[in-house]
A and B are shown apart, each in its own frame.
Chain A
Amino acid sequence: MQSGQIPILRIGTTLLASIQIELRDTTAQSFQEDVLKAIEKSRSRGLIIDITGLDMVDTFVARILTDTGRMAKLMGTETVLVGMRPEVAATLVRMGFSMQGVHTALNVDEGLALLAQLQGAQGRA
Chain B
Amino acid sequence: MNKLGITEQELASRRAYFQLTDGDLTRLAALRPFAERHNDAIVDAFYQELILKHAESRLFFTDQATLQRAVAAQKRYFLELFSGVADLSYMENRLRVGTTHQRIGVAPKWYLGAYAHYLRLISDRLLAEQGPSAETQEKLRSLQKIIFFDMAIAIETYIAAGLDALARHQAAIRELSTPVIQLYERVLLLPLIGTIDTARAMQVMENVLMRVVERQAKVIILDIAGVPVVDTRVANHLLQTTEAVRLLGASTVLTGISPQVAQTMVQLGVDLSKMHTRASLEEGLELALGLTGRSIRVKEA
- Does A106 count as interface, using CB distance less than 8 angstroms? yes
Task: Judge whether B218 and A106 touch: CB under 8 Å.
Answer: yes
Task: Judge whether A86 and B249 touch: CB under 8 Å.
Answer: no
- Does B206 count as interface, using CB distance less than 8 angstroms? yes
Chain B residues in 8 Å Cβ range of A86: 206, 209-210, 212-213, 244, 248
- Alpha-carbon distance between A87 and B214 when the two chains are bound, in angstroms: 13
- Does A6 count as interface, using CB distance less than 8 angstroms? no
A30-62 contacts to B (CB < 8 Å):
none
**Interface 9-residue window, one of A10-18, A21-29, A71-79, A92-100:** A92-100
B229-249 interface code vs A (CB 8 A; 1 in, 0 out): 000000000001101111111
- Does B122 count as interface, using CB distance less than 8 angstroms? no
Known: A86-B209, A86-B210, A90-B205. A104 touches B244 (CB 8 A): no
Interface residues on chain A, size class:
20 to 34
Known: A90-B206, A107-B216. A84 touches B243 (CB 8 A): no
Chain B residues in 8 Å Cβ range of A81: 247, 249
Interface residues on chain B, size class:
10 to 19
B217-230 interface code vs A (CB 8 A; 1 in, 0 out): 11000000000000
- Alpha-carbon distance between A82 and B247 when the two chains are bound, in angstroms: 8
Q: Which of A98, A107, A110 contacts B247 (CB 8 A)?
A: A98
Task: Judge whether B243 and A98 touch: CB under 8 Å.
Answer: yes
Closest B residue by C-beta to A62? B247
Q: Which of A80, A92, A105 contacts B244 (CB 8 A)?
A: A92
Task: Judge whether B247 and A89 touch: CB under 8 Å.
Answer: yes
- Does A85 count as interface, using CB distance less than 8 angstroms? yes
Q: Which of B206, B217, B240, B246 contacts A104 (CB 8 A)?
A: B246
Known: A86-B210, A89-B209. A104 touches B248 (CB 8 A): yes
- Alpha-carbon distance between A8 and B248 when the two chains are bound, in angstroms: 22
Chain B residues in 8 Å Cβ range of A105: 249
**Nearest 8 A/B pairs, CB to CB:** A86-B209, A105-B249, A98-B243, A104-B249, A89-B244, A89-B247, A106-B249, A93-B244
On A, residues with C-beta under 8 Å from B are: 80-90, 92-94, 98-99, 104-107, 110-111
